[in-house]
Structure 1
Amino acid sequence: MNGYFEAVADYYLATPPDQLEDTAADQARRCLKDTVGCMLAAGDVCRRELNFIRSLGSGGGCTVAGQDYSLPPAPAAFSNGLLAAALELDDATSIGVSVHPGCCVIPAALAASQIHNSSGGELIRAICFGYELCNRLGLLATEWIRELGLFGPGVIAAPCAAAVSGLLMGLDREKLRNAFSISLSMSPLCPFSAFTDGADSKSFYSAWGVYLGMLSSELAAEGFTGPAHILDGECSLKSIFSGERGLDVPPGSGGYSHAVVFKDYSACLSVHAAMTAISNLKERESFSPAQIMDVSIRTYPYACAISGLVKDLNPISARVSLPFTAAVMLTEGVLSPEAFKQESLRRQDYLSLSEKVHVQQGNEYGSGAFSKRGCCISVRLNDGRQIQETVDCAKWGVDSPPSDSDLDEKFLRITAQNIKKERAEALLNMLSTVPELEDLSSLFTLIAKEAR
């Protein structure tokens, strides 16, 4: 199985940036734009975590999004990984696996490209490599990740970050393999309970994997080795990465480098189908929250299971709760980061409405890790009406991806409180032309905090 990684790595080592598939390169540009927006939007809510990482050591020349200081590559990627995932607005996958490629790949790619003076094309190639690897590892591991109750992005972030940073460092095939296997041999477990319990440690999950991946590529560069059979040897990780999906698909094909779902709701992807159904219902029907007698949410097994684990609401756990997120969406028509501030979590109108929401598993969506991620919402009103909406997938799903204009609007909306509109627009313009840039220094200047 280590040969599986080597085949993917060989493809990207041998493919110059200007020979990438157009669809993959364009999606990498869109993912970069979206992830940078997520980073810049989260600075205020991550202050304590960022201060902790900064206390481990400063200086080093790598940008932390929205901040006025720099860090060495690994801590900078750690910080940006934290920011990317903090608001649960970061991208996910369109092939049903338990990974979030953006927060695992792009922080490492940015730090490594900055410290090694990479071109925009080299950055885009590394992102394509990272997304393909992330999705492929997810296909192999998702069934066991779900079975063991783990948080997929935390488990898979390290090898993806190691591979991406190693490629940008210029590691040869052997050292790149060692970076990959070192990172996997030291990868964290990341139980999903930190999310449903609302523990602070969940905030570090993906970012810690990114940090570990960066350290692994640095270790490999110095000649350190990892297990040669990390995915297929005795006493290895072969029982975790035991799936067969994707094994027969050659590297660079199958769409794994651009199998992405972008998120418009600031919550776990498990609630997005329900939020989409509610949004459609509110557009079609006229009713107020005060008219609602009860709400039925019928959705896929995994969404029901993890929502049911939430006992106490806080800014982390509430993002998995179908009753709470549905109550906010039915009231406001949007699910923004503001819904998860402490004052919002205490709002009696949200809490009262959430008690009227009943969640049940829909057998029509199938079972297992790769079940269909649809939802049916039924709302009973006090005027006698029973209104209903069914969706097969969440907004911006694989059949209805956002346009560039949609992603630009999201970027400007979520960053509005943290950076000036003129600066945000300048950054958007530069992110749109990244593949053509030979020098990325101006990009990193715009990503950093504006000098006063």
Structure 2
Amino acid sequence: MADKPSSIPPVAQQLAEWALALQLRDVDAAVLERVKLHILDQIGAQVSCCDLPAPRIAQAYVTQFGRSGPASILGSGLQADAEGAAFVNGAAGSSFEIDDYGGNGAYAHPGCVVVPAALAVAETLGASGASLLRAATVGFETIIRLALATMPSMLLERGFHQTGAHGVFGVALVTAMLEQYDLETTVNALGVAGSHASGTTEYSQSGGEVKRAHAGIGAAGGIRSARLARLGLSGPPTIFEGRRGFLQAFCNAHDARFLHEQLGSHWHFPERAALKPHASCALIHHHFAAYDKLRATQAIAPDDIEEVVLGCEPLTLVHTGATGPRPMDIVGAQFSAEYGIAMRIVNGRNDVGAYLDAEADNFQNPAVAAIAARVRLEVDPECAAQIPKGKVTLHMRDGKVLSATAYALGSPFNPLSRGDIEQKYLDLVARSFGDETARTSLGLLMNLEEVADVRQITCLFARPGRS
């Protein structure tokens, strides 16, 4: 017997109606400030990491095979079509584990997909900062809602990487808003985006730099999905909740209600949004914070440690425990809980420079290796709560046991201040572009709704002759 027709519109239609109707005046100022801080943080990541290997490969690809256009490849003197620019900038923004993420259990990486795509489309159109901010606000909220609907099942039980799989839908909406699509075209854009959702987490098991490109793939795929819909290609309106839709295909367990309930009246993004002070997988940041609590009150010498036990949730065990204590490449190092906590114990650092230094030593620092070999991960019920956290227990050679639990610094329960976030941006940008550009761009981004044309921002990051 056929199912009775439902009077409830498909989820894609509900998302599209909300996105197209939203005005900035409908959004609380605190929500908009949070969005601007995440845009700021992502642009800092993009321009500071644009010369790393994966972004350079992405740039070479677009230079050789892409289409010309007016969208900037930040940190170079190059421009490309919006798809190409979003691909390169997305790869740069997620290339060294300093991009934002979803905390409080909403596992996602919204900024590295939403921001490069929104900026590329807005720049192509000569759009205002207010238009960019409006679209980005919807993109961030959509991706966090997708995370709440699908995670951790999508990653833990199926092995899909959330960045591109979630991001392509957020970018399809962002593009539709900036290009002012009608409702039917926007629903089709979401339907087509489902065919671009992709990316697995096998890199966390056996390595591979392709992880760095997942954000770029999602950003370009979302723009492509919207453009195909604009040209008339239709997609399934039940792309999310349908019997062969995204939710059932990508998850063992899911909850579609997060995608449509209280749209416009409840904002999940500010409750879940998190920023990284450390250049590693976000799941390990809880343990860095827990160790820092111990170090603040105890004198801890690495040689005095017999064993380190990291209490964690199941996802952390699977996603950061596969590489083991002896990483073979920098992706492995950034996703190794054992190696990461050993770096923190020995050197007190897990920033970009610390991982680059470790790579230069071929991950053979004897002091770090000695501690990493004594690290053990275990699922801890206290950490596997609805709002996950991390526990570090040190078994000392003199018989003492030191233990602490914490939420990651930068997560909603242990947040960075606005000043901390802005300082991270200034430090990243000034390194390549100087203090004046860093401060000028910060002022424009934090007053984005007053910017007449987003090209006022992108032009600051052009380096003529840099290709």
**Fold-level similarity (TM above 0.5):** yes
The amino acid of 1:328's aligned partner reads: M
The amino acid of 1:48's aligned partner reads: I
Indicate which of 4, 23, 26 corresponds to 2:33.
26
Indicate which of 14, 35, 43 corresponds to 1:36.
43
Which residues of 2 match residues 74-223 of structure 1 at below 5 A?
74-145=83-154, 146-188=156-198, 190-223=199-232
Cα 1:98–1:2 change in 2 (3 A) is farther
Cα 1:422–1:137 change in 2 (3 A) is same
Tell me the secondary structure at the aligned position of residue 43 of structure 1: coil
1:75–1:211 contact (8 Å) kept in structure 2: yes
In the alignment, the residues of structure 1 paired with residue 245 and residue 26 of structure 2 have an alpha-carbon distance, to the nearest angstrom, of 36
Please state how far the C-alpha of 1:203 moved relative to its aligned partner: 1.6
- Confirm whether residue 11 of structure 1 aligns to residue 18 of structure 2: yes
In the alignment, the residues of structure 2 paired with residue 389 and residue 37 of structure 1 have an alpha-carbon distance, to the nearest angstrom, of 32
The amino acid of 2:78's aligned partner reads: Y
In the alignment, the residues of structure 2 paired with residue 67 and residue 34 of structure 1 have an alpha-carbon distance, to the nearest angstrom, of 19
Please state how far the C-alpha of 1:430 moved relative to its aligned partner: 1.6
Aligned partner of 1:351 in structure 2 is 369
1:2–1:231 contact (8 Å) kept in structure 2: no
In the alignment, the residues of structure 2 paired with residue 22 and residue 97 of structure 1 have an alpha-carbon distance, to the nearest angstrom, of 22
In the alignment, the residues of structure 2 paired with residue 419 and residue 282 of structure 1 have an alpha-carbon distance, to the nearest angstrom, of 35
In the alignment, the residues of structure 1 paired with residue 204 and residue 152 of structure 2 have an alpha-carbon distance, to the nearest angstrom, of 19
Aligned partner of 1:365 in structure 2 is 383
1:98–1:153 contact (8 Å) kept in structure 2: no
Aligned partner of 1:227 in structure 2 is 236
In the alignment, the residues of structure 2 paired with residue 247 and residue 222 of structure 1 have an alpha-carbon distance, to the nearest angstrom, of 26
**Structure 1: unaligned runs, 5 residues or longer:** none
Aligned partner of 2:5 in structure 1 is none
In the alignment, the residues of structure 2 paired with residue 232 and residue 353 of structure 1 have an alpha-carbon distance, to the nearest angstrom, of 47
In the alignment, the residues of structure 2 paired with residue 69 and residue 288 of structure 1 have an alpha-carbon distance, to the nearest angstrom, of 49
Cα 1:439–1:248 change in 2 (3 A) is closer
Indicate which of 378, 401, 420 corresponds to 1:386.
401
In the alignment, the residues of structure 2 paired with residue 40 and residue 160 of structure 1 have an alpha-carbon distance, to the nearest angstrom, of 22
In the alignment, the residues of structure 1 paired with residue 62 and residue 132 of structure 2 have an alpha-carbon distance, to the nearest angstrom, of 25
1:2–1:232 contact (8 Å) kept in structure 2: no
Query: What percentage of aligned pairs have identical amino acids?
Result: 23
Tell me the secondary structure at the aligned position of residue 177 of structure 1: helix
In the alignment, the residues of structure 2 paired with residue 284 and residue 401 of structure 1 have an alpha-carbon distance, to the nearest angstrom, of 21
The amino acid of 2:308's aligned partner reads: V
Indicate which of 239, 246, 252 corresponds to 2:264.
252
TM-score by length of 2: 0.90
In the alignment, the residues of structure 2 paired with residue 183 and residue 220 of structure 1 have an alpha-carbon distance, to the nearest angstrom, of 10
1:196–1:320 contact (8 Å) kept in structure 2: no
Aligned partner of 2:336 in structure 1 is 321
Indicate which of 292, 299, 308 corresponds to 1:295.
308
Cα 1:207–1:247 change in 2 (3 A) is closer
Tell me the secondary structure at the aligned position of residue 100 of structure 1: coil
**Structure 2: unaligned runs, 5 residues or longer:** 1-7
Which residues of 2 match residues 402-413 of structure 1 at below 5 A?
402-413=416-427
Indicate which of 421, 425, 431 corresponds to 1:417.
431
Please state how far the C-alpha of 1:388 moved relative to its aligned partner: 2.3
In the alignment, the residues of structure 1 paired with residue 35 and residue 465 of structure 2 have an alpha-carbon distance, to the nearest angstrom, of 29
The amino acid of 1:243's aligned partner reads: D
In the alignment, the residues of structure 2 paired with residue 58 and residue 105 of structure 1 have an alpha-carbon distance, to the nearest angstrom, of 21
Tell me the secondary structure at the aligned position of residue 194 of structure 2: helix
Please state how far the C-alpha of 1:246 moved relative to its aligned partner: 2.0
Please state how far the C-alpha of 1:213 moved relative to its aligned partner: 0.7
Q: How many residues align?
A: 447
The amino acid of 1:204's aligned partner reads: A
Please state how far the C-alpha of 1:83 moved relative to its aligned partner: 1.0
Tell me the secondary structure at the aligned position of residue 223 of structure 1: coil
In the alignment, the residues of structure 1 paired with residue 246 and residue 448 of structure 2 have an alpha-carbon distance, to the nearest angstrom, of 37
Please state how far the C-alpha of 1:332 moved relative to its aligned partner: 2.1
Cα 1:416–1:336 change in 2 (3 A) is farther
